[in-house]
Structure 1
Amino acid sequence: MDYKQTDPQFMERFEQFAFEEVVQKEGLKLDVKTRYLAILASLIGCQGKDAYRLMLEKALNEGMDPVIVKEMVYQAQDYMGMGRMWDFLRITNEVYLEKEIPLSSYGQATTTMEDRLEKGVQAQVDIFGEGMREAWKNGVINYWLADNCFGDYYTRTGLNLAQREMITFCFLMAQGGCEPQLIAHAKGNMNVGNDADFLRKVIAQCVPYIGYPRSLNAMTAVDKAIK
């Protein structure tokens, strides 16, 4: 459907805001790759399937690395669960097929089934500090966080640790209801070099896609993480 024909006034204001005003706002600009990565992760977080397809096509047209996108989608499994990430993997594959982008060999696992726990724990320590060294012992969910979430995904190539923490922040802020985890990952972002100013830029660039309430909640989470 051509929304410029059916809803011209709305589309005029939305496109001016999302694609001009927000993108060009002095002091809130991000490089193209980072901006699209944040937006795509946020659209998965808020379950914006049609908007995700649109923005994925725009991102790829502007030179976004397909490997980076695939790794972001894979990591969504940890924070959205299969029930909410699966459609986005399908959409990504469909767009890649349309653009004749190879579907396989994106990123590479760096752990085995034997060392995924050990390396996952180390990733947690690298992000959150030495206090996470024994956290995997505190119940089965914490064990799975270490070996599956961090050991299987955070250790993959294609995205560095700072990028992975940024997309995690975006998944959490966009889905809402995860404020304790959002605060924790705001602090994790800061620990790996994504300072508060950077996170505020990320939030600002995602406002058109996730709305004001969740954007304001994310700003509050950043402030709490600083304190």
Structure 2
Amino acid sequence: MDRVEKSKEKYNQLFGDGVPAAYATDPDFQDILSRFIFGEVFYQGNLDDKQRELITLVVLATNQTLPQLKAHVGAALNVGLTPIEIKEAVYQCAPYIGFPKTLNAISEINEVFKSKNIVLPIESQKQVEENNRFDKGLAVQMEIFGDVITKMHEGAPSNQKHIQEYLSSFCFGDFYTRFGLDLKTREMLTLCIVSALGSAEGQVKSHVQGNLNVGNDKETLITAITHSLPYMGFPRTLNALNCINEVIPKN
């Protein structure tokens, strides 16, 4: 199939047999969009459609492009993602984009779920309690980043040690420890989230290394960032690829 045929087949798989509304007003633009995203990008690299839709959801949540997020929640269900996986992917955004934007995204997800008679709230995926969230979060943090975490805790100024504690207990304890998504998936999604922010190159590089440490290879990371391209644009994509190439200089 050429990219035109591929785009039609992929679009129907994701969204059904309907025609995008933009064809009524901006058919040229919609052709460019559909053929690039669904005829090219979706076929580049080594990720499956479930992984691609998870990436799409977190980048759209990061950018707060909520109408498109809502459409892709339906697409995510159509390719076989569970409500738990969808929710966990968007929950994973909270430490990086903040609670208000994450709540906006969750509201869109809930609307789709209600329209499809998916009962809310969904089953809890929590694994930590008040007395162990720091320790469990620190353990995950160490698994991803290694001994550098100990140095970060020890080297933090006394008036900023609470930030390192928040990272361990909140970011990694409250979120990374949850069921629903495995560690490799969470770390890949985090790389896409911080790449979409556009001004966090230090964190992008850290999470490139973190991805390597949990078993995601360079090809996977390049594919993940390539899949993010239509949603975050070339400047942020090129910055992320530069970070990947700097951390992993060989092929």
The interval holding the TM-score normalised by the smaller chain is over 0.9
Which stretch shows the higher mean deviation, 97-106 or 123-132? 97-106
Contact between 2:46 and 2:219, CA under 8 Å: does it hold in 1?
no
Coordinate RMSD, CA, aligned: 1.5
Deviation of 1:135 after TM superposition, in Å, equals 3.4
Find 1:113's aligned residue among 110, 115, 130. Answer: 130
Q: Does 1:126 align with 2:122?
A: no
* Aligned residue type for 1:102: V
**C-alpha separation in 2, matches of 1:88 and 1:109:** 20
Contact 1:186 1:222 survives alignment (8 Å): yes
The 10-residue stretch of structure 1 (118-127 or 37-46) with the greater mean CA deviation from structure 2: 37-46
Is the Cα–Cα contact under 8 Å of residues 173 and 214 in structure 1 kept in the other structure?
yes
Residue of structure 2 equivalent to 1:226: 248
Instruction: List runs of 5+ in structure 1 lacking aligned partners.
Output: none
Q: How does 1:58-73 map to 2 (within 5 A)?
A: 58-73=75-90
Once residues 238 and 224 of structure 2 are traced to their aligned partners in structure 1, the CA distance between those partners, rounded to angstroms, is 12
Distance 2:170 2:227 in 1: 30
Residue of structure 2 aligned with 1:89, choices 101, 106, 110 = 106
Question: Following superposition, which runs of at least 4 residues in structure 1 exceed 4 angstroms of deviation?
Answer: none
Q: Is the counterpart of residue 48 in structure 1 residue 65 in structure 2?
A: yes
Identity over aligned residues, as a percent? 36
- Tell me if the contact between 1:108 and 1:156 (Cα under 8 Å) persists in the aligned partners: yes
Q: Pick 1 or 2: higher relative contact order, CA cutoff 8 A, min separation 6.
A: 1
- Higher-Rg member (1/2): 2
The equivalences for 1:181-196 within 5 A come to: 181-196=203-218
3-state SS of 2:38 partner: helix
SS at match of 1:20: coil
- Asked if 1 retains the 8 angstrom alpha-carbon contact of 2:60 and 2:66, the reply is yes
Give the match for residue 163 of structure 2.
Answer: 141
Question: What is the rounded CA distance, in whole Å, between the counterparts of 1:9 and 1:75 in structure 2?
Answer: 36
Within 2, Cα distance between the matches of 1:106 and 1:180?
Answer: 35
- Matched to 1:18, the amino acid is I
Cα-to-partner distance string for 1:37-80 (whole Å, 9 max, x where unaligned): 11111111222111111122112122122111101111211111
Could you say which residue in structure 1 is the equivalent of 2:92? Answer: 75
Shift of 1:102: 2.0
TM-score (norm 1): 0.94
In the alignment, residue 170 of structure 2 is paired with which amino acid?
N
Shift of 1:3: 1.1
Aligned match for 2:175, one of 148, 153, 176: 153
Q: Is the 8 A contact 2:66 2:105 kept in 1?
A: yes
Report how far residue 29 of structure 1 moved: 4.0
CA distance in 2, matches of 1:71, 1:35: 15
Tell me, in whole angstroms, the C-alpha distance in 1 between the residues paired with 2:124 and 2:247: 31
Superposition TM-score, scaled by structure 2 size: 0.85
